[in-house]
Amino acid sequence: MKRYTTVLTIAGSDGSGGAGIQADIKTITAIGCYGLSVITAVTAQNTRGVNAVYPVSEQCVIDQFQALVNDISIDAIKIGMLGNVKIIKTIAKLLRNLKSKPPIILDTILKSSSGTVLLSSEAINSLKGELFPMATLITPNIPEALLLSGIKTPLNTREAVEKCAMELIKTGCRAVFLKGGHGENNECCDCLVHDNLVRWFSSARILTQNTHGTGCTLSSAIAAYMAKGESIEEAIGDAKVFLNEAMHAGADYHLGDGDGDGYGPLHHCYRLWK
């Protein structure tokens, strides 16, 4: 009998389906893995922004996590929105006590795509202290990398990006994938620092308003490919292909009544709809 390859996503719920748990599970499924979830918060949001965030209790997180790991083998873990210090500390304790040691992909979500702050300064320090040392890979974008590293100068050269990624390595994580999607060039240039090596991944910028959940999608895709046994570099390369194709496919669709001011989702299931 075949065994599922599993990916556990620990993140917030996005009722609009573009980001969070919903985007994670769609991505994991589309790549051929079985998605499991621990919900850290329920959000009220749509294509125009986050209206409210309702964190769940620490006990709720513990019960969800234990119910899964006491029954199901976990091949990779993706961590997204955590919300507050208590949840971060709870997740860290659960992961420390986990007998198996699957790869952990930590998406450093500090703000929503629309600009809503999702993690306080105190919680950011807790994230760095508690979870960075456990992470196989962290995936900050440029604004997040600046905030997490404390660097004040713009990351507008490859040398500056590499220096920032190296600073983040010092916090204890094993690898940093610094995403360049917030840059202003026609090319998206992302930097991986891993085992004292630097590798750049480049792709053409896709002109689309439907970018809600790109970070969630990419980190989940990396986790799914690593669950299948790929190395960090291989998983990032394949995940970027998936993300770019999902963005291209989603550019032709419209969701919501934002009159052009909203950020629609990617087309996570484009491979299944052909």
For residue range 194-211, list pLDDT tens digits in order: 998 999 999 898 989 999
Q: Is residue 84 one of the residues assigned to a domain? A: yes
Q: Pick the catalytic residue: 216, 217, 250, 262? A: 216
Q: Whole-model pTM? A: 0.96
Name residues of the chain where pLDDT drops below 70. 113-114, 182-185, 258-260, 274
Domain assignment of residue 41, given as a range: 6-250
What's the pLDDT score for residue 65?
Answer: 98
What's the pLDDT score for residue 144?
Answer: 94
Read off the tokens for 248. Answer: 């291209």
Residue 166 and residue 158 in contact, taking contact as beta carbons nearer than 8 Å: no
What's the pLDDT score for residue 273?
Answer: 82
The CATH number given to whatever domain includes residue 243 is 3.40.1190.20
Q: Is residue 178 one of the residues assigned to a domain? A: yes
What's the pLDDT score for residue 200?
Answer: 97
As a whole number of Å, the CA-based R_g of the chain is 17
Read off the tokens for 74. Answer: 């976990």
What's the pLDDT score for residue 67?
Answer: 98
Q: Is residue 78 one of the residues assigned to a domain? A: yes
Q: Is residue 43 one of the residues assigned to a domain? A: yes
Number of domains in the chain: 1
Q: What is d(CA 264, CA 109) in angstroms, rounded to the nearest whole number?
A: 18
Residue 192 and residue 164 in contact, taking contact as beta carbons nearer than 8 Å: no
What's the pLDDT score for residue 258?
Answer: 60
Q: Is residue 173 one of the residues assigned to a domain? A: yes
Determine whether 215 is an active site residue: yes
Q: Is residue 256 one of the residues assigned to a domain? A: no
Determine whether 93 is an active site residue: no
Q: Pick the catalytic residue: 26, 78, 128, 179? A: 179
